[in-house]
Structure 1
Amino acid sequence: MNKPNRNPGQSPSPKRGEIYWVNLDPTVGSEIRKTRPCVVVSLTVINERRRTIVVVPLSSAGTPRPPLVIAIPSAGPGRTARIDQIRSVDKARLAKPHGMLDHADLNTVEHALRTVLGL
């Protein structure tokens, strides 16, 4: 039995590579905080069936330091992906769509994730 979407008007299944504004608060310690753009990295087929998605937060602050912080040109000037801040979030944290990574940048994110997670 399918569970109803708790967020009418929200996309029930964000696609891998899409960028959404996500409310990351509350946080603890050095976790990246506030509402910010995040790239969806979980598989679309999983996102269609679960209430949580896996995202990598984006930032406009800081210098790229691969593989933990990488430049993401298709997300905007000076944008970086904070690979070290990957997290699972409930879809209720999604605010609104913000775009899509291009294929090259999504490949760069995937490579950095494999490196950081030892996959």
Structure 2
Amino acid sequence: MQNLKRGDVVWVNLDPTVGGEIQKRRPCVVMSLSVLNEKRLTVVVVPLSTGSTPRPPLVVAVPSAGTGSNARIDQIRAVDKSRILDVAGKLTRADMEQVEQGLRTVLGL
């Protein structure tokens, strides 16, 4: 999958997983820089879930990804581009700021 941009919402096959890693086919937000996404075989994503309750900074609401969508900041991961199935949309700037703030807090940046 080419031309992935930071903030894109993409469908990703996260299986197989181990232990407490979030699993199955689900939407994720691309967080790595667009310029890196052009050159690398992997992208950094934050998975989305409708089954979790917002608990900032670990889980933040992202309404622009769909009704009840929450970004699972605590499940950030790099995925090979071959796991990406489709581009579903893009987060609003306001939602990206919420995800970025969550990442800064969780990662101590």
Look up the equivalent residue of 1:92 and give its one-letter code.
S
Question: Of residues 85, 88, 91 in structure 2, which corresponds to 1:101?
Answer: 91
Name the % identity: 64
Show the counterpart of 1:92: 82
Q: CA deviation at 1:83?
A: 0.2
1:69 aligns with 2:59: yes
**Count of aligned positions:** 109
Look up the equivalent residue of 2:33 and give its one-letter code.
L
- Mapped to 2, the partners of 1:14 and 1:85 lie a distance apart of 20
- Mapped to 2, the partners of 1:99 and 1:55 lie a distance apart of 14
TM-score w.r.t. the length of structure 2 is: 0.98
**Structure 1 runs of 4+ with >4 Å offset:** none
Q: CA deviation at 1:62?
A: 1.6
1:17 aligns with 2:14: no
Show the counterpart of 2:20: 30
Which protein is bigger by CA-based radius of gyration? 1
Unpaired stretches in structure 1, ≥5 consecutive residues: 1-9
- Mapped to 1, the partners of 2:87 and 2:36 lie a distance apart of 18
Unpaired stretches in structure 2, ≥5 consecutive residues: none
Cα RMSD (Å) of the superposition? Answer: 0.6
Show the counterpart of 2:105: 115
